[in-house]
Chain A
Amino acid sequence: MTGRSLAGPMPRRTFLRRGAGAAGLVFAPLILPATVWGAEGPAPSGRVNVGLIGKGLMGSGHLRRLLGDPAFRVLAVCDADQVRLTDGKNQVEQHYADDTASGTYRGCAAHVDYRELIARPDIDAVVIVTPDHWHALQAVDAAKAGKDVYCEKPISMTVEEGRRVVEYTQRHQRVFQTGSQYRSITTIRQVCEFIRAGGLGRVKSVFTLFNSLASWIGGERFKPYARIVNADICGKSYVPLDFALPPEPVPEGLDWEMWVGPAPWRPYNSLYHINPAPGVVPWSFCDAFGVTSLTWHLAHSADVIQWALGMETSGPVEILHPADGQFPTLTCRYADGTLLHLVDHWGMVKDLYHAVPETARLAGNFGGLFVGERGWITTMTTGGPIEGGPEGLFEDLRLPSREVNVGANNHHANWLECIRTRRQPSNHEEIGHRSASLGHLANIACWTGRSLKWDPVAETFTDPPAANRLLRRAMRAPWRI
């Protein structure tokens, strides 16, 4: 991290000394000047040539965002599925054709293999929107090829993978943005800065959602495989599982070998991938390709929570399993004593922990509920406006609006700006790695059924040391980081 640290907002204690309760406080902007990164990259005001890797539902959203911004030029699309690939290429060419005098444009390349895309010298940056098992490998390979990276969350399948992403990004001086965009929504940003600066006083506990497989594998599309997935038993698992799903004919145009890539081999089954997509991350229940809650929402929530706690480049020191009896749900303890309770649903915050008034309206996702000395406040992105109490908190916070407008975020814009200035983005590689790590640690506690002690500096378990073997998994040959 030498020479790359963002200047953070003022420490909580400093804030408190200056009078946390005073009205009219002005909070520091999110992005403060950082050390200028390497000189190579597009010209400061130049257009950024981008390749999109992965054109599923999320990839389509990214593509629309990129095409809608004249500062980006999409030169290539990549997908292992020819249907999605062709659709992406056509979408790009149609968009740019509208800007030409002739009304035609044929300048978007289509690649099944991402290695061809990142080898192109005309591409400055890539947006990685593939299934989770690809994220770290593609991010590292892109960095090694000299490309700047925007990578969907979680950026890794294991703690070790995430550390590799950090190391290679920094070694090659790349600009890396983690795709947890909720921190870039104005309202969420203001609330996080408020908490971080001590607006709640000392934060005692935080709550966020951590869900089992129940609702996922109990869904309609799993019904034909009900006997195999055993939702009544396997639905209790918080970690992804492997299922002996029957092989099905690989759809025409899908390169299944490439789709599986570095993950443990699984024969094709439509539960993993099908057109049209049944929703985002359909593969996330399977331990070869995804990481359940971390894929669904925890990577976002961890990002917002650890940022507000000032822990975004660190992590908890203990993961306390409910089997040990200290807390009724899985709980992470940070070095300053703050507790992060992972709950199945918001009702547990009232019924089990009695942490907020019965009248508190808790809804939504992609954030957390913070309880501090001065009151409580939410940072959830979906489910309505910011809630909290007592009302005096909001007088200090001075939000222009409690509404959370998901679309109004500057996450891609921040990445673009940093590509030009060679500065660290708001959600750089270390932050993305630490958010993902929180989910990995929680999953390891679930796998082992016990509490764990974690050293966030060395990134190793101190108790039991045997758990350290779960920090990595090898890739299917011939892939490697």
Chain B
Amino acid sequence: MKAESSSVNGALDEAFSQLARYATGSSRGGLVPIDEAVGHALDDAPLRATLEQRLLSQLSGAPSVEAGYYICDKLRFIGSSAAVPVLARLLTDPALGDIARRTLEVLPAVEVSGALRRALPKLDGSSRIGVIHALGRQADPENVPVLARLSKDTDVAVAAAAAGALGTLGSLRAAEAFRRLLDQPRPELRLAIGQAALDCAAGLLKTGHPSDAKAIYRTLTESGWPEVVVRAARQGLESVSS
């Protein structure tokens, strides 16, 4: 048993050694012991912490793009609060920023939200949009004012993404933000805001707030909203009433 454990550890050490050199054209087979260990670590806290530290150590040391992607994918399985600062530092990295954000987005750690918000001013283009979307996936009330402000951004893509993220939040505070957004929407954002408001209403329904959902649906059945939004809002109203 001891010999078997020693052999497993040896294979894992060798796999981490290969990961340090992993790059375009590298053999994938050498990483399989890490795949297996990460899978087994899902409900083994000590093993999870050990593996996470080893992965983070390599991620902090300027890995190749291929190694960075691999490590981020493994952190998707076992990453914790400890991974947040390392991933957050990568958000501005041209090659690894997107995979770092995608990994952060799904980590079950309360620190994620703040890290994403702090990164926002340093980002532009798709990276910024990605972080805005990610903020919508964190159940953090502090994200609402940030997203509400961004939903008025002069950049239509940023404003639409922020409205979408508010919709994904689907909370009472997000609904409050929508009350103002739905009041006088910019014409070029009507479709995006309308769809986002539908998302918010659906979220409110799921969390037991039918009257707040109903208020959003009612607003969206008024004239001026795109037909697809109006139809869905009517359907929503019917489902709440039935």
Contact = CB atoms under 8 A, between A and B. Distances in A.
A450 interface: yes
Contacts of A230: 27-30
Nearest to B70: A242
B42 interface: yes
A144 B126 contact: no
Contacts of A173: 231-232, 235
A477 B98 contact: yes
Contacts of A95: none
Given A144-B195, A144-B228, A447-B77, A464 B70 contact: no
A172 B32 contact: no
A33 interface: no
B42 A466 contact: yes
Given A171-B235, A244-B24, A475 B157 contact: no
A273 to B, nearest CB: 18
B99 interface: yes
Given A171-B202, A470-B77, A477-B127, A244 B164 contact: no
A237 B31 CA distance: 12
Given A232-B29, A475-B102, A480 B23 contact: no
B43 A464 contact: yes
B236 A474 contact: no
B111 interface: no
Interface in B13-45: 22-30, 32, 35-36, 39-40, 42-43
A168 B105 CA distance: 22
A265 B98 contact: yes
A233 B227 CA distance: 54
Interface residues of A, number: 45
B134 A449 contact: no
Interface in B132-177: 133-134, 137, 157, 161, 164
B73 interface: yes
A233 B236 contact: no
A255 interface: no
A469 B108 contact: yes
A38 interface: yes
Kindly name the residue among B70, B133, B164 whose own CB sees the greatest number of chain A CB atoms within 10 A.
B133
Interface in A429-481: 447-450, 464, 466-467, 469-470, 472-478, 480
A475 B127 CA distance: 12
A34 interface: no
Nearest to B198: A171
A243 interface: yes
Interface in A198-225: none
Interface in A230-271: 230, 232-234, 237, 241-247, 264-265
Nearest to A445: B39
Contacts of B164: 480
A228 interface: yes
B76 interface: yes
Contacts of B157: 478
A474 B102 contact: yes
A246 B25 contact: yes
B202 A234 contact: no
B223 interface: no
Nearest to A231: B29
A69 interface: no
A228 B69 contact: no
Interface string B212-242: 0000000000000001100110011001001
Contacts of A478: 126, 129-130, 133, 157, 161
Interface in B178-233: 195, 198, 202, 227-228, 231-232
A246 B24 contact: yes
Q: Is the interface of A mostly helix, strand, loop or mixed?
A: loop
B228 A474 contact: no
A233 B32 contact: yes
B126 A450 contact: no
Contacts of B127: 477
Given A242-B70, A464-B43, A477-B126, A469 B29 contact: no
B93 to A, nearest CB: 13
A474 B134 contact: yes
A317 interface: no
Given A167-B202, A227-B27, A234-B29, A146 B129 contact: no
A2 interface: yes
B25 A244 contact: yes
A232 B127 CA distance: 38
B231 A473 contact: no
Contacts of A475: 102, 133
A474 B106 contact: yes
Kindly name the residue among A244, A245, A472 whose own CB sees the greatest number of chain B CB atoms within 10 A.
A244
A290 to B, nearest CB: 15
A336 interface: no
A448 B39 contact: yes
A478 B158 CA distance: 10
Nearest to A226: B27
A50 interface: no
Nearest to B133: A480
A448 B44 CA distance: 11
A87 interface: no
Contacts of A245: 24
Given A227-B27, A477-B130, 18 more contacts: A173-B235, A228-B25, A230-B29, A234-B28, A244-B22, A244-B26, A244-B28, A247-B24, A287-B73, A466-B42, A467-B42, A470-B76, A474-B101, A474-B103, A475-B133, A477-B133, A478-B157, A480-B161
13 contacts: A167-B202, A172-B228, A172-B235, A173-B232, A230-B27, A233-B29, A234-B29, A242-B70, A243-B28, A448-B40, A466-B43, A476-B98, A477-B133
Interface of B: 22-30, 32, 35-36, 39-40, 42-43, 66, 69-70, 73, 76-77, 98-99, 101-103, 105-106, 108, 126-127, 129-130, 133-134, 137, 157, 161, 164, 195, 198, 202, 227-228, 231-232, 235-236, 239, 242
The 10 residue pairs across chains A and B that have the minimum distance between CB atoms:
A477-B130, A230-B29, A233-B29, A474-B102, A464-B43, A478-B129, A474-B105, A477-B126, A244-B66, A146-B228
